[in-house]
């Protein structure tokens, strides 16, 4: 079902035209990126769900099934509420680290490395490539100069 929503989203994103002749990225760039990555992730999830039937019982024992679906929502709420105070870099790093760990990454080191890489790529894309400033904390501003 989510894959169908992403296909519709991508079709609508492809209809967006640049607002000016000189727009390099244009208004449809980010929706197109989200649509493509979303479809890739849906395919990966579909293919991996066939292989990961074992081990589901162990994870259900750790977290009650009733509250399991609320954890990512709670993490997202905490992320949104603290983003201005702790800044984009630290907030995104922590949010991704805990979400990856919750979603099944077994080792903390892998979760931390993946979170650091994703956060760095997003930071560079927004702040340096697209020149869109992300919220920064006083601590991060002091470290960066």
Give dist(CA 141, CA 145) in Å, integer: 6
Q: Determine if the pTM surpasses 0.75.
A: no
Q: Could you read off the pLDDT of 53-90 as tens digits, one per residue?
A: 555 555 555 555 556 667 787 888 888 888 888 888 88
Question: How confident is the model at residue 51, as a pLDDT?
Answer: 55
Spatial CB neighbours of 92, under 8 Å, sequence gap ≥ 6: 79, 115, 118, 119, 122, 123
Quick one: pLDDT band at residue 21, thresholds 50, 70, 90? Answer: low
Across the range 36-64, mean pLDDT stands at 63
Please state, in angstroms and rounded to a whole number, the distance separating the CA atoms of residues 15 and 22: 18
DSSP 19: S
- Name the more confident of 50 and 6: 6
Tokens read off for 107: 């080792």
pLDDT bucket at 22, cuts 50 / 70 / 90 = low
Contacts of residue 133, defined as CB under 8 A and 6 or more positions apart, other chains included, come to 126, 127
Tokens of residue 114, six digits: 């993946």
């Amino acid at each position: 079902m989510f894959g169908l929503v992403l296909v519709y989203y991508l079709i609508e994103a492809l209809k967006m035209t640049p607002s000016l002749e000189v727009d390099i990225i244009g208004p449809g760039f980010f929706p197109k990126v989200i649509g493509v990555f979303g479809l890739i992730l849906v395919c990966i999830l579909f293919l991996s769900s066939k292989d990961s039937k074992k081990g589901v019982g162990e994870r259900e024992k750790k977290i009650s099934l009733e509250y399991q679906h609320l954890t990512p929502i709670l993490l997202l709420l905490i992320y949104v509420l603290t983003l201005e105070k702790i800044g984009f870099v630290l907030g995104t790093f922590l949010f991704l680290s805990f979400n990856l760990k919750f979603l099944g990454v077994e080792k903390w080191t892998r979760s931390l490395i993946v979170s650091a890489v994703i956060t760095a790529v997003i930071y560079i894309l927004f702040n340096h490539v697209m020149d869109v400033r992300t919220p920064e904390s006083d601590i991060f501003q002091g470290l960066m100069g």
